[in-house]
Structure 1
């Protein structure tokens, strides 16, 4: 009996083991097809080992199938997507991050195109309310009503430009009716010729935006008058506690009592606000991250009260852009902003009242002059000039992080370097000079001698020979010579000893600059012999064959240069640090014309400033 029972129990075990083996053969064949493994089927003596192997194969196969499914899903046609997903894609396709882009949309052609693809797309579009919540009052009244009807209860983005009392009635009715669900609002209005600045539209907007809280409003653009006429008006600040972006042109706020605890972006253009009024408003913006302030080039208040007292804390401020302030106003504004947010990046453009200046100190505001004296890193870019009789410079400091541009400067690079020497930049430890042509070696030597602590120098030029000659120069003027304390009468001493230029220089960067290998090797070798070895050398990659058959080619092997430094690095291209002044202002204004009147006159007044900011000229 026990034997019979034993045999009876063994039969199912054999069947189970055989079943595992059959499954293994099938799975391994499938796994080979899927590329999981390519091992042959192994018949284990113990069925438990075969079960573990089977589990392993199952896991590998499941992982492989999951990968295949993911890759397959990437190629699902848009026609197979659910209606909700298709509708969301339509919304993303038509969504405008800047509501001001509706300025260029004369009709909702993109919406019409989506509805004409097929019947299903048309149905999906009609049943997606968030697809219809961006509305421009430049469209026909029929299209405006259609979009309002289809948007349901979704938050609205409204664009209204060049409004007058005569043509603004439709907008007024809609704004009054839908004010509580408006999320983004762009309003540009023009006063009637016979009205004073307190026109009917201004009073209407104050009533709609300031009388009650508007919690749904997150982005607000307000533009007053025609840019070419420098028209301005005063307005009560909006009562919008959840406002994230505020942009003003030609508008000053009467009071700053309304708090904006969540405001992150503030753009003030062509505003009559004084510096004290600007800072009074900034007090109500503790979360501000981006600040853009610009004045008309022709409107510089001659007398502005100098600000004093405690600074305004702006701990989250990351970028501050300032345009077209007089030197006195800029110095006042910049010093207060640095005290408020020392870690922010400041992008400045100096006023154009410097064409008659003869020295650099006449051009720079007092605050910038003081910052240059304490700067440890400086970048000087002189490649932005547009004419032969004027120059443009872009200077960048590291602490605080400041970039400022001097346009139409009457000073050449030699005069600028001489001006920096006069200011006293002896604390510099790193400098980068970018210029098509360097001044003569004597001017460079004088400048480098005034900054003996320089350890890192970068150059980008068409001819680096003046740079090498300046550092190797042994001649200098008497007042530049450093005399020994043992000299009995240093006032009357004569400079006979060789002057050492940049004794601490240890890193040299040569970017986008044609150079001679033999000249560079000689320079590095002389520095090494004098005990002032260049330890790090970086340069852009050159495609020249070092073993060229040309008899005049430089035969110096590159390995000889590498042997003279500790660190040698080729970089594929020099990443220019000069940012585009036009793209980082974070304004919602797209017109690049300075004195734009209307969309019809858009090209009638071209901007004479080729480096002008795109923030000019919206309505």
Structure 2
């Protein structure tokens, strides 16, 4: 006997019937030119198809929610367990290897987990020999991710077994992550000994990613001097620069992290890896003494796509860039701070990096100033500057910046305190090719920009076509006066972009002075 339709089925049937009737009436009510059919029908058809797919997906999700666990196929259970496995922390917790709890939901799930080698391809060391052999065997012949950490929780037996365990699986290691943070008071072997003695003479034939963290003080030997890893392409290293492995000249990705880095050390490091494509250098505690002059030859990194350095003094950064030869398309992200003795190094750095810019953004945030630039002939450059004190004085020399970037066409000022009227006028006069100005600031500062564009007898920014003040409050009366001024001078603006509700009396009275008025939602 067929079951009666449910309440939900009746409601959905009624909704579908009503929708079908109204949709047919709406479509038939349209006038159609058969020689030039309206694109609205194609849009409507696409919308209906998307709605149908969305409803079908919801029905499938509801069906899955109602499916008992014991009816799930083995493949789906293995996939669920894999999601849990990939969400595990890399290291153990308080010395105890983390086990995903779904493994023990029932006998069947446990059996599937045991017989899924991919769920056992991550090994955290040191661990007991028994646990190591268990995971090794269950992972079959798959490549492995190995994490060495939490040494302070390891037993003497586990530590003594560490080198032996690694030697056994070296050919299968695809990723090796060693976090060698040990208590100096405890008699643990050094990372140097592990790499140079326990693992010496073995080839890491499958190793592609190496992550080493060794906060031991400087003065030790270079790590991994006799480690052979022909497929290695990525290395992350945290530790003194004189200990970073330097035998992997074929590296394409490098991340180096330490504190109070010397310019000479950075240059010596980059010299060892000529094939780098992406490089990140992080100085957690930049020296306040700028380093302007070093005796070092130019370094060619002709495959570089991205370089990030954070944070060096402006003078050190400027000197670093002058020693590097990189492709024009390479993207640069540079974090800088003001040196102990204030000098002109920031201006020298900006002049070096911004000379070919066509778009410039000056953004003040979190006690920092960020200069973002794009160019038609080189990759994007970001310079983040941390002065001793963030105020309008920090960008008061805008005319000097303008003299470095005379080809500018788009200027974006996202700064709470803009420069003085005199500096704005002088800079905007130099930037005669600007077509778009974006301002996100205080109302009075924005009005100062408008005044600067009206200030001289000659037309300032004669090619200006767009004012974008999204996120900035302004007076509609003041804006109207500015637009009338531009129209009277024969350099009428084409477009105004503003936030909805951010003008004192709306934008309706400005439409006749522009080609387009774009009002967007509040930021």
Q: TM-score, normalised by structure 1?
A: 0.64
Distance 1:467 1:301 in 2: 35
Q: 1:402 to 1:233 in 2, by over 3 A?
A: farther
Q: 2:255 aligns with which of 251, 267, 279?
A: 267
Partner of 2:370: 394
Q: Does 1:457 align with 2:416?
A: no
The residue number in structure 2 matching 1:530 is: 489
CA distance in 2 between partners of 1:173 and 1:282 (Å): 31
Once residues 321 and 484 of structure 2 are traced to their aligned partners in structure 1, the CA distance between those partners, rounded to angstroms, is 46
Aligned-partner SS, 1:378: strand
Shift of 1:69: 9.7
Give 1:410's match in structure 2, choosing from 367, 379, 389. Answer: 389
Alignment of 1:28-107 (within 5 A): 75-76=63-64, 77=67, 79-95=70-86, 101-102=90-91, 107=96
- CA positional deviation for 1:186: 1.1
- Which residue does 2:201 correspond to in 1? 211
Change (3 A) 1:439 1:326: closer
Choose the corresponding residue for 2:410, options 409, 430, 435.
430
1:201 lines up with 2:163 in the alignment: no
Cα distance in 2 between the residues matched to 1:100 and 1:264: 27
Aligned partner of 1:174 among 158, 165, 175: 165
Partner of 1:344: 330
**Within the alignment, does 1:421 sit opposite 2:400 as a pair?**
yes
Alpha-carbon distance between aligned partners in 2 of 1:313 and 1:363, rounded to the nearest angstrom: 26
Preserved CA contact (<8 Å) 1:431 1:456: yes
- Which of these residues, 119, 133, 138, is aligned with residue 131 of structure 1? 119
Structure 2 residue runs of 5 or longer lacking an equivalent are 1-15, 22-52
Shift of 1:569: 2.1
1:446 aligns with 2:405: no
Measure the CA separation in 1 of the matches of 2:314 and 2:357: 20
Identify the structure with bigger relative contact order (alpha carbons < 8 Å, sequence gap 6+). 1
Aligned-partner Cα distance in 2 for 1:428–1:202? 52
Residues 338, 387 of structure 2: 8 Å contact kept: yes
In the alignment, which residue of structure 1 is the partner of 2:318? 331
Q: Is the 8 A contact 1:230 1:270 kept in 2?
A: no
Cα distance, 1:257 vs structure 2: 5.2
Return the alpha-carbon distance in structure 1 between the equivalents of residues 331 and 170 of structure 2: 36
Q: 1:209 to 1:289 in 2, by over 3 A?
A: farther
Distance 1:69 1:208, change over 3 A: farther
Q: Is 2:508 the counterpart of 1:559?
A: yes
Instruction: Please report how far the alpha carbon of residue 380 of structure 1 lies from its aligned counterpart in structure 2 after TM superposition.
Output: 0.4
Partner secondary structure for residue 87 of structure 1: helix
Give the SS at the match of 2:491: coil
- Name 1:508's counterpart in structure 2: 467
- Which of 348, 351, 356 is the aligned partner of 1:374? 356
1:468 alignment counterpart: 450
In structure 2, the CA distance between the partners of 1:333 and 1:302, relative to structure 1 (3 Å rule), is closer
SS at match of 1:176: helix
Q: Do the aligned partners of 1:377 and 1:428 also contact (CA within 8 Å) in 2?
A: yes
Residue 246 of structure 1, aligned match among 231, 235, 255: 235
Alpha-carbon offset, residue 215 of structure 1: 1.9
How far apart in 2 are the matches of 1:410 and 1:244? 41
CA deviation map 1:332-390 (0-9, x unaligned): 433455x3232122111114525x52x6x3435x44322234322211012332xxxxx
The two structures have a TM-score, normalised by structure 2, of 0.75
Q: What 5-or-longer segments of structure 1 have no aligned partner?
A: 1-33, 39-66, 386-391, 475-497, 545-552, 575-619
Contact map agreement 1:187 1:221 (CA 8 A) in 2: yes
Distance 1:308 1:103, change over 3 A: farther
Contact kept, 8 Å, 1:376 with 1:427, in 2: the verdict is yes
Instruction: State the distance in 2 between where 1:435 and 1:71 align.
Output: 46
